[in-house]
Chain A
Amino acid sequence: MLVGQPIPLTQRILLGATCILLLIGAYTIWSETLSYRKREEVANKLPPLKSELQTIEAQLASNPDDSDLVQAKQDLQDRISRVERDVLAAKDRRVPTWKTLYTDGLLRVTEGQGLKKNEYWLWEDSKATASRLISGMLAGVVLSLGLGILMGAYSPIEAFFLPTLSFLAKIPPTAMLVVFFILVGVGEDMYVTMIVFGMLPTLAIAVFQSAKKDVPESLIYKAYTLGGSDAELIWNVIFKQILPRMIDAVRLQLGPAMVLLVAAEWMVAGEGFGYRLRLFYQRTDMSVPYLYLMILGVAGLTMDYMLIFFRRYLCPWFGE
């Protein structure tokens, strides 16, 4: 096989599916092994109890009317059946089996919880996290694209913002969280502000660079010779030309925005994915966290593909 040689689509799908199946298989083996060991551990308590029961039964056979013995036998039998129940219920909460993920994960987050049975975790957490993410991303994207394009179009604006933005882009946004907690407080506004400021420096710089690099000056000059105004140059030439690259830049910001949001929710939220993850982390119960991780992954992929689709629809000229 040559370096860089492409493969047919069916092979591509097959290989991708194999990796996913391997992952699922490995997880199944791992979780089943751990829960088997857990059952063994509990079941190991049974043989001593059973031999004790035999000795009591032997004593009873020679001495049937001893009420103490009858009572002891009764107690022992109760203990054995309790342990036997424990064996059946024994599960490993660090790597839950698929069944546990379903019963203790999915069912728990979709059924009513809490004292009044009126908390539907999945629904409430999704609502909180999604609304924070979407409003933050929307505000951040609009601001960054506007600023980036203006910086690309007008050198004074570039000169004014670029040094500061480059500096801010180098501070890890998660480290900036403390600033937002203190200055904005821990309300819903904080999440939006945090996502906006988290993505603005990087995204605005990416858009600015694209506006500089991907719009040859010959296209700009030509638009003037075709009778374009300054506003038309920005909208009909620069914006249209770099739109697909901006969409790709936004796609790259999805990951960081989710990191930032979950981290902030982990620290200060009262609902949301980050909050629920921390709660279950404290109980070392992973059945809900694993489920939430899967949901986060699927949601991220969905948004990413929506943006790709959006780009293909709006910019058919751009290719894949």
Chain B
Amino acid sequence: MNEIVLECRDVGHWFGSNRVLNEINLQVAAGQIVALVGPSGCGKSTLLRAILGTHPPKQGDILANGRKVTRPNRDVGIVYQNYSLYDFLTARDNVAFGLMLDETSLLTRCLKPFEYRKLRNVHREKAMAYLEKVGLAKAAHLFPAEMSGGMRQRVAIAQALIMEPQILLLDEPFGALDEATREELQLMLLRLYQENREAKQAGVKPPYTILIVTHELNEAIYVSDRVLGLSQYHEGGEQGATIVYDKAAPVFHPGDARNFEEFERQKDELRNAVFDPEQNQHHAEYVAFWQNLK
């Protein structure tokens, strides 16, 4: 039961003579939390923008939920590093914002204000539930300007999650946060993964599929169940970066101890396959996620 929610087919992208992405082939199944790592400037953000649909790739196709992505739409969610929230809405209304946009239209809100009011209360209740999930129920009435970076990022995550997107993209979401907040948010991702596993056991489609870009190898291995390496250090790398690493990562329960020493073997492998400029050999042995699964 591996429903593919995101697929990249031979995706390539370039800016003038600067070839950034080349022959990216990728499938992500529902319920996976995939970490994407790679050297700085290799094109991780470019790939995310292509999947999001704001900057479609110059070559190849990207399918979300089986449909070709040509512009940003509600199948693909996004959380930016700079915790972009709507300044004019409180935390609760920021989270409820997507429900309002998605389930009502400007016209119906104007023409049927009373029905909309009822619906809005439903939306707000649901938003409160999501705020609780990210541990922010107390801050529901605060405006973004009154929140700390970590709080804003949690609101941004709840805002994206409430839409139940087919896939949620996180571009270095915890990059600007302090260590303690980072750990809390990593735990939050593990709890989401826990929900995925419970759903799988119950035989329903797991609710959260996440693609997370990070600079931190420990974080990548810790929060994900699958690590992707994007790099230009491979055979034919002058044509652009491609997927050079794709393997499962150990799965943690939220309560487990964070013992990063266990990660050393995989980190070494990643450094070797993804971050080493001398590594120009075949990388096929590292792209083994689906084979290993079988």
Q: Hey, which bits of chain A sit against chain B, CB under 8 A?
A: 216-219, 221-229, 231-232, 235-237, 240-241, 243, 315-319
Given contacts A219-B84, A240-B88, A317-B143, contact A224 B73 (CB under 8 A): yes
Give the CA-CA distance A243 to B77 in the complex, in Å. Answer: 27
Instruction: Give the contact stretch, choosing among B101-109, B177-185, B209-217, B267-275.
Output: B101-109
Give the CA-CA distance A223 to B80 in the complex, in Å. Answer: 13
B65 contacts chain A at the CB level, 8 A cutoff: no
Give the CA-CA distance A293 to B97 in the complex, in Å. Answer: 49
B98 touches A227 (CB 8 A): yes
Of B52, B89, B103, B144, which is within 8 A of A225 by CB?
B52
B235 contacts chain A at the CB level, 8 A cutoff: no
- A240: nearest chain-B partner, CB-CB: B88
B98 touches A229 (CB 8 A): no
B88 touches A317 (CB 8 A): yes
Give the CA-CA distance A68 to B52 in the complex, in Å. Answer: 114
The DSSP consensus for interface residues of chain A is helix
B52 touches A236 (CB 8 A): no
B139 contacts chain A at the CB level, 8 A cutoff: no
19 A-B pairs besides A223-B101, A236-B106, A241-B88 with CB distance below 8 A are A221-B54, A222-B80, A224-B74, A225-B52, A225-B73, A225-B77, A226-B163, A227-B98, A227-B101, A229-B101, A229-B105, A231-B106, A232-B106, A236-B100, A236-B101, A240-B86, A317-B88, A317-B143, A319-B145
B71 contacts chain A at the CB level, 8 A cutoff: yes
B106 touches A222 (CB 8 A): no
A226 touches B52 (CB 8 A): no
Find chain A residues with CB under 8 A from B207 CB.
Answer: none
Find chain B residues with CB under 8 A from A235 CB.
Answer: 106
B21 contacts chain A at the CB level, 8 A cutoff: no
B54 touches A227 (CB 8 A): no
Give the CA-CA distance A227 to B84 in the complex, in Å. Answer: 17
B87 contacts chain A at the CB level, 8 A cutoff: yes
- B72: nearest chain-A partner, CB-CB: A224
Size range of the chain B interface in the assembly: 20 to 34
A218 touches B84 (CB 8 A): yes
B160 contacts chain A at the CB level, 8 A cutoff: yes
- B98: nearest chain-A partner, CB-CB: A226
Given contacts A221-B54, A317-B88, contact A229 B106 (CB under 8 A): yes
Give the CA-CA distance A228 to B102 in the complex, in Å. Answer: 6
Give the CA-CA distance A217 to B54 in the complex, in Å. Answer: 10
B194 contacts chain A at the CB level, 8 A cutoff: no
Find chain B residues with CB under 8 A from A224 CB.
Answer: 71-74
By Cβ-Cβ distance, the 6 closest A-B pairs, closest first, are: A227-B102, A226-B98, A224-B72, A228-B101, A227-B74, A317-B143
Find chain A residues with CB under 8 A from B46 CB.
Answer: none
Tell which of A225, A235, A236, A240 has the most Cβ of chain B within 10 Å.
A225
Q: How far is the CB of A1 from chain B (nearest CB, A)?
A: 29
A226 touches B159 (CB 8 A): yes
Q: How far is the CB of A130 from chain B (nearest CB, A)?
A: 31
Q: How far is the CB of B121 from chain A (nearest CB, A)?
A: 18
Find chain B residues with CB under 8 A from A216 CB.
Answer: 84
Give the CA-CA distance A73 to B78 in the complex, in Å. Answer: 105
Give the CA-CA distance A217 to B76 in the complex, in Å. Answer: 16
Q: Mark B58-96, 1 if CB is under 8 A from A, else 0.
A: 000000000000011110111010101011110000000
B102 touches A226 (CB 8 A): yes
A232 touches B105 (CB 8 A): yes
B240 contacts chain A at the CB level, 8 A cutoff: no
Q: How far is the CB of B142 from chain A (nearest CB, A)?
A: 10
A225 touches B78 (CB 8 A): yes
Of B78, B82, B145, B165, which is within 8 A of A317 by CB?
B145
Give the CA-CA distance A316 to B142 in the complex, in Å. Answer: 11
Q: How far is the CB of B6 from chain A (nearest CB, A)?
A: 14
Given contacts A224-B71, A240-B88, A315-B88, contact A218 B82 (CB under 8 A): yes
